[in-house]
Amino acid sequence: MTTAYETVIGLEVHCQLLTKSKLFCGCPSSYGAEPNSQVCPVCLGLPGALPVPNKRAVGMAIRAALALGCTVRERSVFARKNYFYPDMSTNYQISQFELPLNEGGGLEIEVGSRTRMIEIERIHMEEDAAKNLHGIGSGTATLVDFNRGGTPLIEIVGKPDLRSGEEAESYLKRMRELLMFCGVTDGNLEEGSFRCDANVSVRPHGQSELTTRAELKNINSFRFVRKAIEYEAARQWAVVTSGGAVVQETRTWLEGQEKTVSMRTKEEAMDYRYFPDPDLPPLVVDREEITAAAADVPELPVAKRARYVAELGLTSADAVVMTGHPQTAAYFEEVCAGLIRVSDLAPSKAGKRAANFIQTEIMRHIRVEGLNAEIAVSANDVVALLALVVASTISGKQAKVVLAEMVESGKGPQAIVDEKGLAQVSDSGELLKIIETVVAEFSSQAESYRGGKTGLLGFFVGKVMQATSGSANPRVVNELLRKTLGGDS
């Protein structure tokens, strides 16, 4: 869609790190506990309490930054961002200001068939705020749950390189999958572990100067990212073309009404009076820590997909499905490796077969929860099942039946095949006898076939399969039928 204006978007992603404890105290940072049950003097901001940095959180932040191609500062500083609000127990947030942990880097996005690199300004660490629950009781009270307060966050500030709602959506999807594959977040938008604010402005095509921007908050689903941004861009352009000026303000997207509304103007914007937090010495990261973090950066989704296509015989579409979740990819790779080993298949054949089977038969048996997934059948068992198909012991169709039984009973494929006597009959001698019987029984159809109605082959295949309760090897049946029926075929 081309518009009369150019939309300029810079995204700020706040991502909770999957540490066991909070950034500055030992409280658990898991979601869903009873309100105010995961708190202590530090995260409650009690008098006399002091913050102490969580080393694992720093390691994860570095891992994420390296995955995004950022440089890591060996000496960064925690700073206090001072403002009064009930979700900050100390009325300041410990963040990083002048000297953030990471800078530079970028993320590749894809829209249609075009890919582009979006640059990253910086990534810094900060603590999350507590949760305000508005409208309690008669509707005027707000309750505060401090469980979330102090959870480690990384804030990823992207440069205003994005030019459309579509691009923004791709950026967020790719950012989320990269961070999930790195194991630093569970990417849960509903629970708020992955959040996004969008800075949106519009300008005439060809202008390089940036114009006044509005900040969109409360974008917590991919569905609405594109809509909200497109709406806001159009709104701003309408303001500009009707002679008005865009106000620098914070707006929120109202899902029900599909529009953005103003939350507060930046005129009321705070002077945060940033200064280095005197309770925390500068964060010094040595070469060893960076090397250790780099070792924790896994093969990233874009690279994985490229490899699946190049080496494992998948189409791009297949590759996207197989990398839909880190556990899916791991499962797929395990099945592939197993198939290659057990059935001596070429990698591209193994990949194609594994992907097909997983997509059609296994996906519905995968239950995802955060970064974990429960898959009803083990990769080993799937390998064994597919190996039976490759060896023609059973047909692809039979494999589906066996799988259903595997899920139900938990038994392995060989056991089920044996129990049900499903092993395909491929012995020509045996099959020939059955075929001759069938052909004799349906002699008029055989006549028609020989007379030129070659489509009747399928009829005979069906009858043979019936006679063998589906266990005949269809390929062999086909061959033998043609020979037996003869005719011009």
Partner 1 sequence: MSYALQSVEALASQLSSFELTARQLTEYFLERIERLDGELGAFLCVDRDGAIRQADIVDSRRKAGEPLGLLAGIPVAVKDNICTQGLATTCASQILDGYIPPYDATVVERLRGAGAVILGKLNMDEFAMGSSNENSSYRSVANPWNVEFSPGGSSGGAAAAVAAGLCVVALGSDTGGSVRQPGSFCGVTAIKPTYGRVSRYGLVAFASSLDQVGPLAKNVRDAAVVLKEIAGVDERDATCVQSASEDYLAEFGVNVSGLRVGVLRTALNESCHPDMLRVFEESQVRLQNLGCELVDVELPHLRYGVAAYYLVAPAEASSNLARFDGMRYGKRVAADDLAETYARTRDEGFGAEVKRRIMLGTYALSAGYYDAYYLKAQRVRTLIRQDYARVFERCDVVLSPTAPGPAFRLGAKIGDPLSMYVEDAFALPPSLAGLPAISTPAGLSSDGLPLGVQLTGPALSEGRLIATADALEHARAARDFAPGYFEECP
Tell me whether residue 44 or residue 342 sits nearer to partner 1 (CB atom). Answer: 44
Residues 199 and 193: their CA atoms lie apart, in Å, by 20
Nearest approach in angstroms of CB 234 to partner 1 is 34
**Interface with partner 1 in residues 98-157 (CB under 8 A):** 144
Would you list the DSSP string of 48-105? T------HHHHHHHHHHHHHTT-EE-SEE-EEEEE---TTSTTSEEEEE-SS-SEE--
Count other Cβ atoms within 10 Å, centred on residue 163.
Answer: 15
Q: Residues near 477 by Cβ (< 8 Å), separated by ≥ 6?
A: 431, 435, 461, 464, 465
Tell me whether residue 129 or residue 156 sits nearer to partner 1 (CB atom). Answer: 129
Nearest approach in angstroms of CB 104 to partner 1 is 26
Q: Angle of helix 165-181 relative to helix 55-67, nearest 10 degrees?
A: 130
Nearest approach in angstroms of CB 90 to partner 1 is 5
Tell me whether residue 269 or residue 303 sits nearer to partner 1 (CB atom). Answer: 269
Binding segment (CB under 8 A) for partner 1, from list 78-86, 386-394, 406-414, 434-442 = 78-86
- DSSP letter assigned to residue 267: G
Q: Are 171 and 115 in contact (CB under 8 A)?
A: no
Tell me whether residue 77 or residue 480 sits nearer to partner 1 (CB atom). Answer: 77
Single residue of 84, 114, 443, 444 touching partner 1 by CB under 8 A: 84
Q: Angle of helix 379-390 relative to helix 413-420, nearest 10 degrees?
A: 50
Q: Total binding residues for partner 1 by CB under 8 A?
A: 28
Nearest approach in angstroms of CB 101 to partner 1 is 16
Nearest approach in angstroms of CB 94 to partner 1 is 11
Tell me whether residue 89 or residue 193 sits nearer to partner 1 (CB atom). Answer: 89
Residue window 163-202: x/- pattern of binding to partner 1, with contact defined by CB under 8 A: ----------------------------------------
**Interface with partner 1 in residues 260-279 (CB under 8 A):** 271, 273-275, 278-279
Residue window 13-52: x/- pattern of binding to partner 1, with contact defined by CB under 8 A: ----------------------------x--xxxxxxxxx
Tell me whether residue 91 or residue 380 sits nearer to partner 1 (CB atom). Answer: 91
Nearest approach in angstroms of CB 74 to partner 1 is 18
Q: 3-class SS at 390?
A: helix
β partners of residue 141: 136
Across 38-52, b (16+ Cβ under 10 Å) vs e yields bbeebbbbeeebebe
What is the phi/psi pair of residue 89, to 5°?
-65, -25
Residues 233 and 89: their CA atoms lie apart, in Å, by 36
Tell me whether residue 36 or residue 378 sits nearer to partner 1 (CB atom). Answer: 36
Residues 474 and 431: their CA atoms lie apart, in Å, by 10
Nearest approach in angstroms of CB 80 to partner 1 is 6
Nearest approach in angstroms of CB 182 to partner 1 is 27
Tell me whether residue 23 or residue 335 sits nearer to partner 1 (CB atom). Answer: 23
Residues 333 and 413: their CA atoms lie apart, in Å, by 20
Nearest approach in angstroms of CB 173 to partner 1 is 37
Tell me whether residue 273 or residue 433 sits nearer to partner 1 (CB atom). Answer: 273
Q: 3-class SS at 338?
A: helix
Q: Residues near 84 by Cβ (< 8 Å), separated by ≥ 6?
A: 91
Residues 310 and 314: their CA atoms lie apart, in Å, by 8
Single residue of 3, 30, 91, 489 touching partner 1 by CB under 8 A: 91
Q: Are strands 5-16 and 194-204 parallel, antiparallel or unpaired?
A: antiparallel
Q: 3-class SS at 108?
A: strand
Tell me whether residue 271 or residue 286 sits nearer to partner 1 (CB atom). Answer: 271
Is 280 a binding residue for partner 1 by CB under 8 A? The answer is: yes
Q: Are 166 and 7 in contact (CB under 8 A)?
A: no
- DSSP letter assigned to residue 268: G
Nearest approach in angstroms of CB 92 to partner 1 is 6
Tell me whether residue 22 or residue 325 sits nearer to partner 1 (CB atom). Answer: 22
Single residue of 73, 80, 353, 463 touching partner 1 by CB under 8 A: 80
Nearest approach in angstroms of CB 264 to partner 1 is 13
Q: 3-class SS at 262?
A: strand
Contact residues: partner 1, CB under 8 A: 41, 44-53, 80, 82, 84, 86, 89-92, 144, 271, 273-275, 278-281
